[in-house]
Structures are given as structure tokens and as C-alpha cells.
Amino acid sequence: MMQFSTKAEYSLKAMINLAKHYGKEPISLAKIAKEEKISKEYLEQLIAKLKANNLVKSTKGVKGGYILTKKPNLISAADVIEATEGSLAPFYCVSDADARCCTKKDCLTKNMWINVKKSIKKSLESTKLTDLYK
């Protein structure tokens, strides 16, 4: 089955948590993990990807933690999910990472996957962090 994994779920929860505290002091990973009921050690790996994609920044040491790099209304679900899942491509032949596919000039099936990918992207890009909490 084609389903986003808990990577998408957990990273969205973490980003929503940070969005709610936007403008305040950094929040530690331990606090986010506890509040969102996610393994801290696993979330660590996901937030590393969010940082690599410039969605959060960190400060070390006591009182350290994470904050968003941008206002919550400027970060989309697509940004978050693409960072942690790696791609929004619903099929390998339309993934940037894995572009092996049929060699045909104009593959009709590939065109279909391109459309599916576009529609997924559109949905997720139009959803901002601010749309995910009230």
C-alpha cells in the first residue's frame, strides 16, 4: 500500500508543536517527544532532516532546543513531509532521486504519475502549519 509512514506523522506533529510556540524560547526535543508521545531518539533522526532542509534551527546546551526558521504560515506540509519522507513522488519513475523508468519518449503511464504527483504536491503545498492547529 502506498502510504506515508510515521515519519510524515511525527515530523508534522513536531513542527505543529514548534509552530504553536513560534516567537518564544527554543523547545527541547525531549519536551516535544514527550508531548507528542514519540520516541525521542527516533524523533532526533527526523528533526535532523528538518534541520538539513532549513525548516528548524537549533541551539545547544541547557536551555537549548529548536525553533522554526520561518513563520508557521510560510511552512507547508509539503516542506515538512518532503524533508522527512524524501520525496512526494507516488511512483519511482517520477522521483527525482530514482529516475529510472521506461525509456519510451512519451510514456503515457508516466504522464499519469506526473499528474498524480502534481495533485499531491498541490494539496500539501496549500496546507500551511497554521492550517493544522487553531
Partner DNA sequence: ATAAATACCAAGTAGATTACTTGGTATTTA
Partner DNA sequence: TAAATACCAAGTAATCTACTTGGTATTTAT
Minimum separation from the CB atom of position 134 to DNA (A): 26
**DSSP secondary structure letters along 12-62:** HHHHHHHHHTTTSS-B-HHHHHHHHT--HHHHHHHHHHHHHTTSEEEE-ST
Closest CA to 66 of 35, 98, 24: 24
26 or 90: CB nearest DNA: 26
63-102: which residues touch DNA (CB under 7 A)?
A: 63-66
47 or 83: CB nearest DNA: 47
Per-residue interface string for the shown chain with a copy of itself, residues 34-73, x marking contact by CB under 8 A: ----------------------------------------
Residue 88 binds which entry of a copy of itself, DNA, none, CB below 5-8 Å type-dependent: a copy of itself
29 or 81: CB nearest a copy of itself: 81
Q: Can residue 89 be called a binding residue for a copy of itself (CB under 8 A)?
A: yes
17-36: which residues touch DNA (CB under 7 A)?
A: 26-31
Q: Which long-range contacts (CB under 8 A, 24 or more apart) does 16-22 make?
A: 16/129, 16/132, 16/133, 18/56, 18/66, 18/67, 18/68, 19/68, 19/72, 19/75, 19/129, 19/130, 19/132, 19/133, 20/133, 21/67, 22/67, 22/68, 22/71, 22/72
Minimum separation from the CB atom of position 98 to DNA (A): 9
Among 23, 24, 61, 134, binds DNA (CB under 7 A): 61
